[in-house]
Structure 1
């Protein structure tokens, strides 16, 4: 099922951690069993991509490598064992690589090679290069087909709009993992970053009432306005994190019993007390999805006495992705800038793209590179 491919393509290469990335001309990857060659049309830039590649985040990565993470692209060629994907088809290229014979082996393409010998083997010997390139070779199962006519014509999403999926899918994985249902009251904390803000949008789309916690009152107000503008029926309340654990708990409790908590604490806020306040406000048999980096301890009496479920969650499953695409194609999310305002750059402007990604953060904001 191979198509006629160019012999070379341009890619953004990291030769070593701390070095500047360089746009290089590389040999074209070829399709093999279990793989697809995807022509990239929009690749996402994370708010902390700059920190990964300059070494500030200390994420393990084998170099040289092509940078990136998830992307939107067209299937250019397929390995001989492909049965459903077709050349020319639009697809979401998922950065979550799993071991085919052991799905617990997981790493993020272009972000980290993981922390086990098995994930390092996959990252170094099989799937090393990310999506900041004109073409990328990726596993077949990481290509999620998209209905281009419905998404881009009927609903009016651009390719760069669709790249916002990279943010939305992460909280969707966490919320599904703790079985959030329509009508639930969900605390998202903190909600003013990229993943937290996306978590508010996803929880609303799932039919939940949301309480968004954060320190920045201006950003909380913007978040509330953004979500309500796109979904006027949404129930979104905001609570400022004061650092006074008991006070923050009382404010949350005033909104009534909380069913679930979705936590995205960044490393810099690991000592914050906001998660303790959120857990204290949970009802009997409440649930918590821990997707951040919080240094967390909580009263045993609360967790044991109230049958609280605490679940760690890294990213999302392929089944989550397929379900999310169904929601997106059904039109349950807003469109245009009520959905996302994306800044776009070319590969040669990668520095500006990473700088923009570090600043252009929060609900409805994203940065994409378009090769």
Structure 2
């Protein structure tokens, strides 16, 4: 099934790392079995997209490539095997692409080609391009249907607001993986970046008591105020990181014993001791979701208290479906209490990448609007 697709459309094309994007007119992809063509409404811009496309982060992917990750989009056409999705439908188009005959072979759209030859082949030959474009081709299973009447008319979200999903889903995948329960206490560390701030919001929506760790007192105060304004009655405490293992442990102990920790450390902070401090406050049988880049976390407590350390990359499709149900049930704040989006056109891609590198934290998202 298809609506009328233009023969060509505009997209941001990267010919080589460091060269920058060009706005080009390219052929519009066609729907085949297992795929959908979406008209992109709002495409997320990562805080480290600039580092990827200019080469500071050495992520491999084929070139030329259309940049971008996940998007809020509208179905424009579907392959003949689609039975639930249809043209006109609002969807979240997800960036985690998995091989259908080998789910362990996965990659992130226009970011990284994955860890084995199978994922590299899948990206190179089938699902190369991202969502910095007017139209994009995505797997059917990566299109998560959104109840537009509920989300946009009743709850008042815009497409730009809904793009915050791509940040919220990452910590949700980690917290669900370690089975965070309502009423439990969870440490989010560090909590002042984009994924960490989103993790605080997600943990609150899941009914947890949150201890947010970060180096910036100003950003921690904003985080606490932001959550309590949007979710009155939310339990959010903050602890400023000093970089001293014992001092940070002492600052956390009044909130313990803690049930769980989620770590979202960026690569540049990989030698930080904050995760060790958090682990020291866990109760017997506590759990840790390791979604970041901390190098050294082993501590006597891990063995002595039967602590579970679980690595997690992104999230599963079921996580996305359940998260959207939470959003549709009104468990998150609405309007400006939910997110403040900065939007850019395709031609403004350079400014979008620059702004995204600085505009990170709870309730902040940068998007490109093709």
| TM norm structure 2 | 0.99
Residue in structure 1 matched with residue 324 of structure 2 by the alignment: 325
Q: Deviations over 1:190-233 (max 9, x none)?
A: 00000000000000000000000001111000000000110011
2:133 pairs with 1:149: no
Residue in structure 1 matched with residue 363 of structure 2 by the alignment: 364
* C-alpha distance in structure 1 between counterparts of 2:235 and 2:297, whole Å: 30
Residue in structure 1 matched with residue 99 of structure 2 by the alignment: 99
Residue in structure 2 matched with residue 309 of structure 1 by the alignment: 308
Cα drift, residue 6 of structure 1? 0.7
Residue in structure 2 matched with residue 66 of structure 1 by the alignment: 66
Gap regions ≥5 residues in structure 2: none
Comparing 203-212 with 236-245, which one deviates more in the overlay? 236-245
Cα drift, residue 268 of structure 1? 1.1
* C-alpha distance in structure 2 between counterparts of 1:339 and 1:41, whole Å: 19
Q: Which runs of 4+ in 1 moved over 3 A?
A: none
* C-alpha distance in structure 1 between counterparts of 2:40 and 2:34, whole Å: 19
Question: Is residue 256–residue 282 contact of structure 2 (8 Å, CA) maintained in 1?
Answer: no
Pairwise CA RMSD: 0.7
Residue in structure 2 matched with residue 354 of structure 1 by the alignment: 353
Q: Deviations over 1:9-42 (max 9, x none)?
A: 0000011111110000001100000000000010
Q: Deviations over 1:274-315 (max 9, x none)?
A: 00000010000000000011112322x311111100001000
Residue in structure 2 matched with residue 14 of structure 1 by the alignment: 14
* C-alpha distance in structure 1 between counterparts of 2:243 and 2:5, whole Å: 57
Q: Deviations over 1:91-120 (max 9, x none)?
A: 000000011111111110011111211110
2:114 pairs with 1:114: yes
Cα drift, residue 4 of structure 1? 2.1
Q: Deviations over 1:38-89 (max 9, x none)?
A: 0001000000111100011001111001000000000000000001001100
Aligned residues: 370
Residue in structure 2 matched with residue 338 of structure 1 by the alignment: 337
Residue in structure 1 matched with residue 5 of structure 2 by the alignment: 5
Q: Provide the secondary structure at the position in 2 that maps to 1:18.
A: coil
Question: Is residue 60–residue 115 contact of structure 1 (8 Å, CA) maintained in 2?
Answer: no
5 Å matches for 1:115-194?
115-194=115-194
2:32 pairs with 1:32: yes
Residue in structure 2 matched with residue 56 of structure 1 by the alignment: 56
